[in-house]
Chain A
Amino acid sequence: MREKIIAVVEDTNPEVSKYQGNDMMREGVIDSFEVIDIVTALEDEFDIEIDASLVVADNFRNMDSIVEMMEGILGSCS
């Protein structure tokens, strides 16, 4: 699962996997449209709807935090 999430994000935005820090959104590594692109790609791939309340800086700190958010969503679905 983890690999698949990483692959989707990486495929949508290679910058995310390169990023080494801990506050990707606030540091401006990804802008608002790039966030939408990542969310939409994950929604399509996993056939889920990511609630807007999850789209916050804490869940988009880096690749790990995106994976963690996704695992939370997918875990509660199954």
Chain B
Amino acid sequence: MKANVTYWLDRTAELYPNKTAFADAKKSVTFDQMRKQALGIATELTRRNLFKKPVAVFLEKGVDVLVSFMGAAYSVNFYSPIDVDMPASRVNKILEVLEPEVVITTGELQGVFAEYDYNGEFLLFEDVTTSGEIDEAAVELARRKGIDTDLLYVLFTSGSTGIPKGVTINHRAVIDYTDWVTETFQITEEDSFGNQAPFYFDNSILDIYSTIKTGATCYIIPKELFSQPVPLLEYLKDHRINTIFWVPSALIVVAKLRAFKNVDLTDTLKRVLFCGEVMPNKQLNAWRKALPDALYANLYGPTEITDACTYYIVDREFADDEPLPIGIPMANTDILVLNDKNELVTGDEVGELCVRGTSLSMGYYKNPEKTKEAFVQNPLNNAVPELIYRTGDLVKYNEYGEIIYLARKDFQIKHMGHRIELGEIETAVSAIEEITLCCCLYDTKRQKIVLFCDADLSKEYIHEKISKLVPEYMFPNRIVYMETMPINANGKIDRVKLKELL
């Protein structure tokens, strides 16, 4: 039994010391180098008497960030990455909640961080990792005091009130999730990942920990390649990356610009996994046609349950206008779909997806009110205390017993007496050939369904196209053509910005 994710790194560093663990555009580390550098950081954190304390990591996205994460984990402290491109106002709000004991950064970036509301200590990455001082005994003493429910990381998500919520995740949840990933997709030291997800976004957990556990190699793909489909696919080919776990928007760009005909990835890509938003079948079908032998899997889940809780391995044909299921629960995870009366749904009744299991976050950092709202007693268990996480996502079961995502609970509206899921309209509209991105909002004041989309189409045309998919009362009343859809920091459509346009 492992109580700390770093035991994996000990093992892989012993088995494959000279194999590349992670590589970015500037440098790479072997498993042995990674372990030693992380122990260097852990030694310094332990020397400063930090144990179970928040450690902020303020570094350019790259190998060093991951070494710092492991340094925090070895010493049983927990990390929280702060993106160097994050607006100062958001950084300050995060610092106010997190109150880090130390910030791991470089001499160069320290000056930038000094501009924020922070008066605490720094740990300069280059000092610790080049001095080579490692006190393994002291670190081991600290690590053995830790248990698997101690925090590993805190990732901040946007809260509706404007104060970011710090989602806390412990070692056990990541161990449980990573075991599922590596067993389900049979990840071994022969595999290699192409990382897209920013490290402040929990999709990266899959890339990071699958690599550390199995001894695979993970290439951190330079961000600018995601706007350049041919160089992007060439990068995959050159580095022999066989597994990618990307947000759908990154996959959409490749499909939209028809980049497959420039680069043949037939013998390169083995697994195409995605998570983070709805993957339209229209674009997925383009991928499947170009690379029919690859495995495609749709993962679903909010940060609060450690990256993902359900999955669907694509095993049948889908029409462009059909929704892709989010599938079935992962091992050691239970999904309860509860209706308004807190009962399990029957048939194709719509309900809220709730999660039970080891994967659950320990709660929002220093935010008991928000924690109490989302992490609640399982209404089906009146015998012992047992928490479930209410995702706020509305779903239903299809005829195969697979879960179908419908919409956010807060996107359910009442219009002319009908209960409508805005997401259902979006699914219908996104099947229209000309449209890549769309978003539906409800203008409560004027009682109108407003559709934002990135193609200049008439209302009549859109109505005609979706008439086979949704009833007339769900037709958008107003169409707003957006030359460019606003996208938020996580690469999703920015609903808050669109709301301002109503």
A residues near B (Cβ < 8 Å) are: 11-13, 25-26, 28, 30-37, 39-41, 49, 51-53, 55-57, 60
Please, which residues of chain B bring their CB within 8 A of the CB of A49? Answer: 258
The reply to whether A33 and B437 form a contact with Cβ atoms under 8 Å apart is: yes
Please, which residues of chain B bring their CB within 8 A of the CB of A12? Answer: 483-484
Q: Is the CB of B27 closer than 8 A to any CB of chain A?
A: no
Please, which residues of chain B bring their CB within 8 A of the CB of A57? Answer: 224, 227-228
| B234 nearest CB neighbor, chain A only | A53
Please, which residues of chain B bring their CB within 8 A of the CB of A33? Answer: 249, 253, 436-437, 454, 484-485, 487
The reply to whether A52 and B261 form a contact with Cβ atoms under 8 Å apart is: yes
Choose among A32, A34, A35, A37 the residue with the greatest number of B CB atoms under 10 Å from its CB: A32
Q: 6 tightest A-B contacts by CB? A: A52-B259, A32-B227, A52-B257, A53-B230, A32-B253, A26-B224
The reply to whether A55 and B484 form a contact with Cβ atoms under 8 Å apart is: no
| B258 nearest CB neighbor, chain A only | A52
A11 to B85, CA, bound (A): 28
Q: Is the CB of B367 closer than 8 A to any CB of chain A?
A: no
Please, which residues of chain A bring their CB within 8 A of the CB of B261? Answer: 52
Choose among B250, B256, B258, B262 the residue with the greatest number of A CB atoms under 10 Å from its CB: B256
Please, which residues of chain B bring their CB within 8 A of the CB of A39? Answer: 257
The reply to whether B258 and A37 form a contact with Cβ atoms under 8 Å apart is: no
Q: Is the CB of B226 closer than 8 A to any CB of chain A?
A: yes
Q: How far is the CB of A65 from chain B (nearest CB, A)?
A: 13
11 A-B pairs (CB sep. < 8 Å):
A12-B484, A30-B227, A32-B250, A32-B253, A34-B484, A36-B257, A39-B257, A52-B229, A52-B261, A55-B230, A56-B231
The reply to whether A36 and B253 form a contact with Cβ atoms under 8 Å apart is: yes
B residues near A (Cβ < 8 Å) are: 85, 224, 226-231, 249-250, 253, 256-259, 261-262, 436-437, 454, 483-485, 487
The reply to whether B228 and A36 form a contact with Cβ atoms under 8 Å apart is: no
The reply to whether B257 and A55 form a contact with Cβ atoms under 8 Å apart is: yes
A32 to B484, CA, bound (A): 11
| B250 nearest CB neighbor, chain A only | A32
Please, which residues of chain B bring their CB within 8 A of the CB of A51? Answer: 262
A55 to B232, CA, bound (A): 11
Please, which residues of chain A bring their CB within 8 A of the CB of B231? Answer: 56
The reply to whether B250 and A37 form a contact with Cβ atoms under 8 Å apart is: no
Known: A13-B484, A31-B487. A37 touches B226 (CB 8 A): no
Q: How far is the CB of B246 from chain A (nearest CB, A)?
A: 11
Q: How far is the CB of A62 from chain B (nearest CB, A)?
A: 15
Q: How far is the CB of B69 from chain A (nearest CB, A)?
A: 25
Q: How far is the CB of A6 from chain B (nearest CB, A)?
A: 15
Please, which residues of chain B bring their CB within 8 A of the CB of A25? Answer: 224, 227-228
Known: A52-B229, A53-B230, A55-B228. A32 touches B262 (CB 8 A): no
Q: How far is the CB of B244 from chain A (nearest CB, A)?
A: 15
A11 to B456, CA, bound (A): 12
Please, which residues of chain A bring their CB within 8 A of the CB of B484? Answer: 12-13, 33-34, 37
| B231 nearest CB neighbor, chain A only | A56
Q: How far is the CB of A13 from chain B (nearest CB, A)?
A: 6
A12 to B436, CA, bound (A): 15
Choose among B229, B230, B257, B485 the residue with the greatest number of A CB atoms under 10 Å from its CB: B257
The reply to whether B454 and A52 form a contact with Cβ atoms under 8 Å apart is: no
A56 to B224, CA, bound (A): 9
Please, which residues of chain A bring their CB within 8 A of the CB of B249? Answer: 32-33
| Additional 5 contacts, C-beta under 8 A, given A26-B224, A33-B436 | A12-B483, A31-B487, A32-B249, A33-B487, A52-B258
The reply to whether A37 and B454 form a contact with Cβ atoms under 8 Å apart is: yes
| A30 nearest CB neighbor, chain B only | B227
A57 to B487, CA, bound (A): 20
Known: A32-B249, A52-B262, A53-B262. A37 touches B483 (CB 8 A): yes
| A60 nearest CB neighbor, chain B only | B227
Please, which residues of chain B bring their CB within 8 A of the CB of A31? Answer: 227, 487
Q: How far is the CB of A14 from chain B (nearest CB, A)?
A: 8
Q: How far is the CB of A40 from chain B (nearest CB, A)?
A: 8
